[in-house]
Amino acid sequence: MSVNKDIKLLVFDAYGTLFDTSSVISLCNELFPGYGEELSRIWRSKQLEYTWLRSLMGRYVNFWKVTEDALLFACKTLNLSCELSTRNCLMEAYLRLAPYPDVKVALSGLSRYRLAILSNGSPFMLEAMLKNAGLEGVFAYVMSADEVGVYKPSPLVYEFVVLKTGLEVNSIGFVSSNSFDVNGAKSFGLWTCWVNRSKNIWDELGLLPDVTVESLTELVDILPNYVG
């Protein structure tokens, strides 16, 4: 386990790390009985795929539009009629995603450090989620890929943290549950923590996270080893 004594800012991914994208399943089931889990799974999978494809094609649109397009694709895949009122209801649910059970306890335990968010989410989406989750004011910075015009794992997104904060690369720690995101941050040169709640397999991209935890609360005990 490598040691970095210079971490001054701890940056978190939002979707899938702090906020549970599968928390829309109950609403999906309410609107489309029996399809909730599959609809949520396809929606999230296509949402990520569209961010990668649009980044590669140089055809950026904001994350709200990406999320809506992914929802439409998921409904078409399952032959579900997604009327405008239904679509709006499901989209609004993305502004009220539930934080994972370990989040508030962990953030409280990490409150002596400077905390930040770096997300693909549009600024208004992140603001609404934080407000609805009672997490306003917790983070020193809430940074969006929208300010760069490309999505993670482009190095330009992680570079934005350096430009925004004025900190050195080796002073920034990055925390995500998404393997592609941790790989992107590690490739850029950040210290990384992979939150592997679901015990997934690490992607074979020639890189490894600095630490792996199964819960954010584990980071509360681990981080002091990396802070001078």
Neighbours of 34 (CB within 10 A): 9
Name the catalytic one among 13, 146, 181, 210: 13
63-77 and 36-57 helices, crossing angle to 10°: 130
Q: Which residues contact 221 (CB under 8 A, 6 or more apart)?
A: none
CB burial class (10 A; 0-12, 13-18, 19+) of residue 118? Answer: buried
H-type alpha helices, 110-172: 123-132, 155-165
Q: Is 13 a catalytic residue?
A: yes
Written as six digits, the tokens of 222 are 């681990």
Active-site residues, by number, are 13
